[in-house]
Amino acid sequence: MEKKEQLRLVLALVLSFIVIFGWQYLMAPSAEEQAEMARRAAEAERMAAALTVQEQGVAPAPATEVGDFAPTEGVSVKVDTPLYTAVFNSQGGILEKFVLKNYRETVKENSPNVDLIGANAFAKGPLGLILTAGGREIHTWRHGEWAFTGSNITLGPNQEPKSLTFTGQAGDYRIERTLTFDPKTYHITESSTITTLAAIGVEGAVAFTAAAKSMSAEGDSYNPTKIAYLSVNGRDEMSDRDDLRDKGFFAPAGLKWGAIESNYFLFAVIPASDRATLAAGVQDDIFRMAVSEDATFLPSVAKTVRASYFLGPMDRDLLAAMPNQLKEAVNFGWFDFLAKPLLIGLNFFYDYVHNYGVAIILLTIVIKLIFWPLSQRSFASMEKMKKLQPMVQKLREKYGDDKQRLNQETMALYKTYKVNPMGGCLPMLVQIPVFFGLYKALLGAVELRHAPFIAKVPFTDLPWLVDLSAKDPYYVTPIIMGATMFLQQKLTPAAGDPTQQKIMMLLPIVFTFMFLQFPSGLVIYWLFNNILSIGQQVMIARSSKKKAADKA
């Protein structure tokens, strides 16, 4: 072999070793990954052996004693706590009703309390258990026999938690569901034991379900009922009913919780396993959800699965104490970081005045004071612009047909007099996120639901502003708000060409129509913010006139 060929051969071998061993070094699993792979392999081998235990004659796992089972007729079982009254059906332990004692459907005096389930949802098995085994899905409340020997539960505020136990048999499975109720919270825990009666094991899944009527009117864009979930990859939600009906909504493994929710209430399922998944949708106008985790049903072996539920208001303090970051169910979108601190401020004032309408006004004053210097600069800038308007008008008359020249001359004029045309806008832009943050807070805070400001129209018996989360029934506040906005426009120096000025004067009308349907709490905020801004503008105008008079 020639010397060059020998050299090429050696070089090829060296490169081959580098590729083979370098790849293994770089891509080989870590020690932790190798340990996890070994654990999974051992588990798979154990399950495979167990599933075929009868066929191979291997010694079976310790069998669970399964007692006799005598089904009883399905009955309603009531759980009464200081916070809610829950009615279960012993046929599967599913919910018939879940009535919140501290929340009514409407502001009317005799309005019924909120039932999170609704009559039509019962057929969908709220809080039911679904077993999937060998590709067959068993809705245990529908395709099983059940027995119940307990009684109604009544819990006082200081009593210890109590439990209900429902026993059933569905297909080849004996089921024992134990639901535990704590009188201090809306949190219900479940521990269910499933014993396989068949001689051969099977791979499958266990699903904890939720089903509820819509928690808001269809088409209510301000307060939609939606499906939401939190997983290791973050929060996601879907509120489009057509998509939920036609396509459904899914979350991969790593689920922390899934919920049917509106701005004010939620029905959440919280899995105990970090391998749980979610499937949800809308059927017959009922929102449904199943939180599933894979399970191996070994012959004559009892398997215990756990989950918990939260059925109640979107109370941020209560949710903060729940597992799996359920507090993330309260989410105000992009302005979440502003809305929550603003709500803290709102509740701070409420603790003193005990009226959320007054608390909104006080919070508006505080916000106005915080932004007072910025607004002062904005209005001062507009005053300067006002003084230049005669010169700007002359430029328009001179260069009206040459837009480019008109812009150049106008900017030169502003530069000469050291006026920033954006000076009037930038401080206002800074405040916009705060406006939207408060808008989201007022729209989604459960404490604002049915919170009154003024009980009745003065000198009448007509109810008025009795619910700050609902629109003004007589549209009085939006119209006054529009009037104050119009007055603001009249006080603001005209800028831009005549067409732009006319458009600006139409804004109060547009905003008035928009605010007609907004929650009255938000309208009150905007109205008082306008009043404070008008006062500030008047002060600046008077100060400017006084300075001009002093100079003269």
What is the DSSP code string of 385-439?
HHHHHHHHHHHHHHHTT-HHHHHHHHHHHHHHTT--TTTTTHHHHHHHHHHHHHH
What distances in angstroms separate CA 477 from CA 115, 127, 158, 485, 527, one per listed residue?
32, 44, 44, 12, 7
CA–CA dist 167, 139 (Å, integer):
15
pLDDT in tens, 127-171: 999 999 888 899 999 998 999 988 999 999 999 999 999 999 998
Secondary structure class of 344 (helix, strand, coil)? helix
User: Contact, 94 vs 122, CB < 8 A?
Assistant: yes
What is the number of other CB atoms lying within 10 angstroms of the CB of residue 27?
7
Q: What does the pLDDT read at residue 85?
A: 97
Show the tokens assigned to 185.
């919270």
Q: What does the pLDDT read at residue 419?
A: 76
Q: What does the pLDDT read at residue 7?
A: 53
> What is the distance of C-alpha 400 from the center of its chain?
53
Per-residue burial over 429-466, b if 16 or more Cβ lie within 10 Å, else e, is eebeebbbbbbbbbbbbbbbbbbbbeeeeeeeeeebbb
* 391 Cβ contact list (under 8 Å, min separation 6): 413
Determine phi and psi for 268, rounding to 5 degrees. Answer: -110, 145
Q: How many CA atoms lie within 13 A of 29 on its CB side?
A: 8
Q: What does the pLDDT read at residue 240?
A: 92
What distances in angstroms separate CA 55 from CA 48, 58, 135, 225, 250, one per listed residue?
11, 8, 21, 51, 38
Ranges for all domains in the chain classified under CATH 2.70.98.90: 76-331
Bridge partners (DSSP) listed for residue 297: 202
Q: What does the pLDDT read at residue 424?
A: 60
Mean pLDDT by 10 residues, the chain (552 residues): 50 51 48 52 48 46 67 92 96 96 90 93 93 90 91 94 95 94 96 90 93 86 91 93 93 95 95 94 94 90 94 94 95 87 93 94 91 78 76 80 81 79 64 80 86 85 86 92 88 66 79 88 90 86 77 68
- Entry pTM: 0.79
Instruction: Determine the residue type at 112.
Output: P
- E strands along 28-112, which residues? 76-80, 84-89, 94-104
CATH code for the part of the protein at 76-331:
2.70.98.90
Q: What does the pLDDT read at residue 470?
A: 86
CA–CA dist 88, 80 (Å, integer):
11
Closest CA to 272 of 315, 311, 321, 306: 306
Q: What does the pLDDT read at residue 1?
A: 46
